Chain A
């Protein structure tokens, strides 16, 4: 019972943070200047910051709209959809890192050095990548619901 009441609170907090990140993404892009603080970096390019920001903002709104009556399958699906949107954006960011880390650069060797390869994965990260581990909690609830149904 306690676990069930924790879930809406958890996703409400995650929803607020995700929405804030989405708005920050859009504002930073509109301001045309990048933002970096600690391990967080917000891109100012129209594609990742602007378009991606709209998707992160939508993910936040999905979380927030799904927390009420969390046990209902239609409400729960909104929370899952919020996580799916985060997975899409962070997956694309991680894929971009992978494709960047393999080649050796314009004047370098064919393949990247080990240091260069690992360096590509070092922080700072985009908001969606930081939200990724927290969004995976939805997987736990999907499995839990599945086992309860069975």
Chain B
């Protein structure tokens, strides 16, 4: 059947009469609250409250309840002594790689593949990752994330990005791998490059945050402050030196909705499954590789060579070379290793910041390579410059404050 123009308009009128209700729209309470969360004056306090809730629930669930409440007891009190007893050949090289120090009385210090490796992966990181992704899924499904994107748009424009960049940034706080993939929502190559570089350098993943919460709870705030400051300083510089466009963005802000249990559970499960596939093998492998390098004397050799840079320029002990090697495999593992090295609190802050801004973990590295070899090389070049400049600057700040 072919309709002429008049007939088409008649049909449109008929359909709209049957489907559209005409009337004066009245603002509901939900609309008014939605507006409050977008306007800067009222939206910023709300964003501060939401982030407070995010970290409070994260710390209470992952730190107080799961890790300190049950996992430490399980691993240190039962699993570690049992493994130390039943594994044959105490003192041998295989024992050192798999179980670690036979005299260690806690899983952080043992540093074996099946002791510290499993404790870090299951006892510390898994609860942290679970609660992080649960909270993130709730915020996404509730409709808060687009509002946060609108709220932060002006600030992110200063570093060549726009409000949508909050999505890869927050995803990277869970795991850098989906964060790198999420940079595809940005329109230009310049924006994608800036975002990828910034998240590879300055955004600690949920696993690393979980470990930091466990080993440096009192100074973690300073580490995060240094990273956030670096994110904006180097973002601003990259925006000035990278050619290309940073366009505006148009976003449809949905109304607030009640999250559906099935949707949230599907999202959380998909992300946790990714963690099982990617992170756990790398944590175990990381322990094994670092232990082998220690046994071969490579870490000590490298520590001696790099000592002037580490001690003189960064102001940290040369023993931090080992954790930096582990950081290439897993950053959470590297922070766990740092916790057993004797350092002043400020050296610890510097060392953890260095672990964060040092090379991205191998899984992120592979993901960045998939996005483009040229981008990866550019990001790595920026990373090396940032590592030396920012690492030295943090040491200088420590000297000026008299704490380094």
A interface list, Cβ under 8 A from B = 46-48, 51-52, 54-55, 58, 61-62, 73-74, 76-78, 80-81, 84-85, 88-89, 91-92, 95-96, 98-100, 102-103, 106, 110, 142, 145-146
* Complex contact A95–B73 (CB within 8 A): no
CB distance from A1 to the nearest CB of B (A): 22
* Complex contact B49–A88 (CB within 8 A): yes
A-B contacts counted at CB < 8 A amount to 92
**Which residues of A have CB within 8 Å of B35?**
74, 77
User: Taking the complex as formed, is B236 at the interface, i.e. its CB lies under 8 A from any CB of chain A?
Assistant: no
**Which residues of A have CB within 8 Å of B50?**
88
**Which residues of A have CB within 8 Å of B72?**
106
User: Taking the complex as formed, is B55 at the interface, i.e. its CB lies under 8 A from any CB of chain A?
Assistant: yes
Q: A92-B53, A95-B61 are in contact. List 20 more A-B contacts (CB 8 A).
A: A46-B221, A47-B221, A55-B45, A55-B52, A61-B45, A62-B45, A73-B29, A73-B32, A76-B32, A78-B36, A80-B29, A81-B36, A84-B33, A85-B45, A89-B53, A92-B60, A99-B61, A99-B65, A142-B29, A145-B29
* Complex contact A73–B27 (CB within 8 A): yes
5 contacts between A and B (CB under 8 A): A62-B45, A77-B29, A77-B35, A92-B57, A103-B70
CB distance from B31 to the nearest CB of A (A): 8
Q: When chains A and B are docked, how far (Å) is the Cα of A54 from the Cα of B52?
A: 10
Q: Is the interface of B mostly helix, strand, loop or mixed?
A: helix
Across the two chains, which residue of chain A brings its CB closest to B33? A77
- Residue of B59, B65, B70 ringed by the most chain A CB atoms within 10 A: B65
Contact of A77 among B32, B57, B61 (CB under 8 A): B32
Chain B interface size, under 10 / 10 to 19 / 20 to 34 / 35 or more: 20 to 34
Across the two chains, which residue of chain B brings its CB closest to A51? B52
- Chain B positions 223-252 with a Cβ under 8 Å from a chain A Cβ: none
Q: When chains A and B are docked, how far (Å) is the Cα of A46 from the Cα of B52?
A: 12
- Residue of A61, A74, A102 ringed by the most chain B CB atoms within 10 A: A74
User: Taking the complex as formed, is B188 at the interface, i.e. its CB lies under 8 A from any CB of chain A?
Assistant: no
Q: When chains A and B are docked, how far (Å) is the Cα of A48 from the Cα of B64?
A: 15
Q: A58-B45, A74-B27, A85-B46 are in contact. Are A99 and B32 (CB under 8 A)?
A: no
**Which residues of B have CB within 8 Å of A84?**
33, 49
User: Taking the complex as formed, is B385 at the interface, i.e. its CB lies under 8 A from any CB of chain A?
Assistant: no
* Complex contact B56–A47 (CB within 8 A): yes
User: Taking the complex as formed, is B28 at the interface, i.e. its CB lies under 8 A from any CB of chain A?
Assistant: yes
B interface list, Cβ under 8 A from A = 27-29, 32-33, 35-36, 42, 45-46, 48-50, 52-53, 55-57, 59-61, 64-65, 68-70, 72-73, 221
* Complex contact B68–A103 (CB within 8 A): yes
* Complex contact A80–B56 (CB within 8 A): no
CB distance from A22 to the nearest CB of B (A): 11
Contact of A92 among B29, B52, B68 (CB under 8 A): B52
Q: When chains A and B are docked, how far (Å) is the Cα of A44 from the Cα of B22?
A: 56
* Complex contact A102–B45 (CB within 8 A): no
CB distance from B42 to the nearest CB of A (A): 7
**Which residues of B have CB within 8 Å of A52?**
52
Q: When chains A and B are docked, how far (Å) is the Cα of A110 from the Cα of B78?
A: 12
Contact of B33 among A47, A55, A80, A98 (CB under 8 A): A80
**Which residues of B have CB within 8 Å of A76?**
29, 32
**Which residues of A have CB within 8 Å of B29?**
73, 76-77, 80, 142, 145-146
Q: When chains A and B are docked, how far (Å) is the Cα of A48 from the Cα of B33?
A: 25
* Complex contact A102–B42 (CB within 8 A): no
Contact of A88 among B28, B42, B52, B69 (CB under 8 A): B52
Contact of A96 among B32, B33, B64, B73 (CB under 8 A): B64
Q: When chains A and B are docked, how far (Å) is the Cα of A100 from the Cα of B45?
A: 28
CB distance from B127 to the nearest CB of A (A): 11
Q: When chains A and B are docked, how far (Å) is the Cα of A111 from the Cα of B278?
A: 33
CB distance from A101 to the nearest CB of B (A): 10
CB distance from B257 to the nearest CB of A (A): 16
**Which residues of A have CB within 8 Å of B59?**
96
Q: When chains A and B are docked, how far (Å) is the Cα of A29 from the Cα of B32?
A: 34
Q: When chains A and B are docked, how far (Å) is the Cα of A90 from the Cα of B371?
A: 44
A-B pairs with lowest CB-CB distance, top 7: A103-B69, A77-B32, A58-B45, A92-B56, A99-B65, A99-B60, A55-B49
Across the two chains, which residue of chain A brings its CB closest to B62? A99
Q: When chains A and B are docked, how far (Å) is the Cα of A103 from the Cα of B56?
A: 18
CB distance from B357 to the nearest CB of A (A): 23
